[in-house]
Structure 1
Amino acid sequence: MTRKIDFYFDFISPFSYLAQLKLPDIARKAGYELEYCPIDIPEAKIAAGNYGPSNREVAPKIKVMMADLNRWARKYDVPLRFPASFACADWNCATLYAREQGKAGAYVTAAFNRIWGQGIDPGDRAELRACATEAGLDPEGLIAFVESPIGQNEYRKARSLAYQRGVFGAPLMFVDDEIFWGNDRLDFLQEYISQQK
């Protein structure tokens, strides 16, 4: 049986970007499959009963969060640029198309690099098409999926299943029945999977 890490993320999340920079290598080295599971963070919070404001609405929290993000970017030696908008829902949905095509890893990596590495505007359809091409996907097929009732229904079902499982934010990783929340928990995740051999 293939062992796997279920990676719940939202392209709106800079901490998901940071986690994704390390997770593929962690999974590969441990012989685990990485399953890419897109969610919607504001929706996940509400589903979990968290009706508080977003981080962007709490000035003292955003100040500390920004400092932490910059520290992580320096630690990982990667660029970190806030995107021009947070219109990421279609990018999340497109992950399911990429998954069906066997290119989820390439797509998610390219998408996070564009959104958080380069700071593009996710609301720009040209950027989504370019990302699809970079990941080896048919851009028109990807756009058609995202805009279709089938694609939107698949994304809605995936989110609903995530929330039923107890997903309340991102990045969140499930391995077996263990849950690891945040890019700063990757050491714990590695420790756990190293003990499963």
Structure 2
Amino acid sequence: MEQTMRKPICFYYDFVSPYSYFAFSQRDQIRERTGRELQLLPVTVGKIMEMVGNVPTSITCKTKRAYQGQDVMRWVEKLQIPFAIHPQFGTFSTEPLVQAALRAGEDVEAFSEAAFQAVWAEQAPVTDNSAMHAYFAGKEERFAAYWAENDLMKDALEKNNNMAVDDGVFGVPYFHTDSGDFFGNDRLDFLYEAIAS
């Protein structure tokens, strides 16, 4: 009973981040190993980094970018999940996807799964509004409705981004808990240990 009363884990993520995709793929394991619920909080990491004075060094540093390419493939192999680098990666904003996820409300988990697949597995036409409407309709009709009305969620997105900054977020994936904060999908073991202690 005591464990169920503990606060959920705030999980901040953005669909532009492959490491967010990796962390999201482990969400059931996180719940199982911590006994906690996850509060799924999609954000726009570029805006958050701007707000806190961070910079995306994998973009600004060629050497780090080359290393990250290797690291990403190691995680794909470890997690055994579908993966394909989007041909337009780095040229499109995920804000419409994030707003649609916010529009999904209690359905945010299912929509986020589809959105991550769109970016990191299926190379969906993310810059074409009508094509993405058709893409989501092909998944679930309700997903297409979330996409169609995503521009209504600007205030909700700003609220999530501000809450993220208040919780110490400087990048994603980021886990904010009452046992400490954890950045990156490679810090989950530390999260498990902290919550278990």
Same fold (TM over 0.5): yes
Q: Give identity over the alignment, percent.
A: 30
Q: Does 1:121 align with 2:125?
A: yes
Query: What amino acid is the match of 1:90?
Result: P
Residue ranges of structure 1 left out of the alignment (5+ in a row): none
Displacement of 1:3: 3.2
**Which residue, 163, 166, 173 being the options, matches 2:165?**
163
Q: Is the 8 A contact 1:129 1:143 kept in 2?
A: no
Q: CA RMSD in A?
A: 2.1
Give TM-score, length-normalised by structure 2.
0.85
Alignment partner of 1:12 is 2:16? yes
Deviations 1:133-167 (A, max 9, x none): 63562523x1343123xx11111122122112221
Q: Aligned to 2:26, what secondary structure does the other structure show? A: helix
CA 96–65 in structure 1, closer or farther in 2 if over 3 Å, else same: same
The answer to whether the 8 A contact 1:6-1:174 is kept is yes
**Matched residue, 1:182:** 184
Which of the numbers 26, 30, 37 marks the counterpart of 2:30?
Answer: 26
After TM superposition, the structure 1 stretch with the greater mean CA deviation from structure 2, 165-174 or 120-129, is: 120-129
Aligned partner of 2:103 among 70, 75, 97 = 97
Cα deviation 1:80-101 (Å, max 9, x = unaligned) = 2122333211101112111x2x
1:53 Cα deviation from its structure 2 partner: 5.1
Task: Kindly state the Cα deviation for residue 57 of structure 1 after the two structures are TM-superposed.
Answer: 3.1
Deviation at 1:10, TM superposition (A): 0.8
Across the two proteins, how many residue pairs are aligned to each other?
189
Determine if the alignment matches structure 1 residue 87 to structure 2 residue 87.
Answer: no
- After superposition, the C-alpha distances for 1:16-62 in whole angstroms (9 at most, x for unaligned) are 00111112332145332111112222221121122x45422321110
Cα pair 1:73 1:79 within 8 Å, conserved: yes
Output the TM-score relative to the length of structure 1: 0.85
Q: Which consecutive residues of structure 2, in runs of 5 or more, have no partner in the other structure?
A: none
**Corresponding letter in the other structure for 1:27:** R
Partner of 2:67: 64
- Please give the alpha-carbon distance, in whole angstroms, between the structure 1 residues aligned to 2:167 and 2:52: 10
Matched position secondary structure for 1:174: strand
Contact 1:97-1:145 within 8 A present in 2 as well: yes
After superposing the two structures, state which structure 1 stretch, 173-182 or 25-34, moved more: 25-34
